[in-house]
Amino acid sequence: MSEKVYNVLFLCTGNSARSILAEVQLNVFGRGKFKAFSAGSYPNGTVNPFAIDFLQSNGFPTEGLRSKSWNEFAVESAPVMDYVITVCDQAAGEQCPYWPGQPMSAHWGVPDPAAVEGTDDQKRRAFRDTAAIMRRRIEMFTALPAASLDRLSLKSKLDEIGKTA
C-alpha cells in the first residue's frame, strides 16, 4: 500500500513571490510525500521575475508556474487539501473560500520580497532570504510525524513552525 501524499495549498495575496517559492520548495523537499500548490486572493497574474530567477539559479523547476486565484481550489473538481498555509499577513486576515475536506490551516507570514525597493542585488537578496525562511519551515514541516499526531498537536506544531525565522 502506498503512503499518503498530503496536498498543501500556500496562499498569499498576489501569488507572485512567497507562495510560489513555498510551492516549489515543498514539491522538491517533500520527497513525494507532499504535493504543493499556491494561489492568491487577488493574484496579480504573473510570477515575479526575481522569484523565477532565484528558483532557476538554484536548480528548482519553474515550468508551469503561474499566478492564480484561490478560487481554483475552492471548486468541487479541485484537489482536496490537507493543509492550507497563508504566507502573508494580508491573506491570513481575509475571508477564505470554503475548502473541501476541512484542511488543517496555519499562518507562516514572511516579509514580501516583491515589496523591496532598491537595486536588483537588494531585491535578489530579499528573495533569497525569504526562500531561506520558507525552506527552514518546510524542512520542519516535512519532518513532522503527521500520521502519529492528533489534530490539536499537529495544529500546535504548524503554528510553532510559522514563528520560526
12 is catalytic: yes
User: Of the residues 88, 114, 131, 158, which is catalytic?
Assistant: 88
Please tell me the distance from the alpha carbon of residue 42 to that of residue 160, in angstroms, as a whole number.
27
CA atoms within 13 A on the CB side of 124: 9
Place of cell 525552506: 135
Closest CA to 87 of 121, 156, 36, 28: 36
From the list 12, 24, 85, 91, the catalytic residue is: 12
The answer to whether 13 is a known catalytic residue is no
How far is C-alpha 17 from the chain's CA centre? 10
Active-site residue identified among 28, 78, 96, 140: 96
Specify the DSSP element, H or E, that contains 17: none
The CA distance from 141 to 146, in Å, is 9
The set of catalytic residues is 12, 88, 96
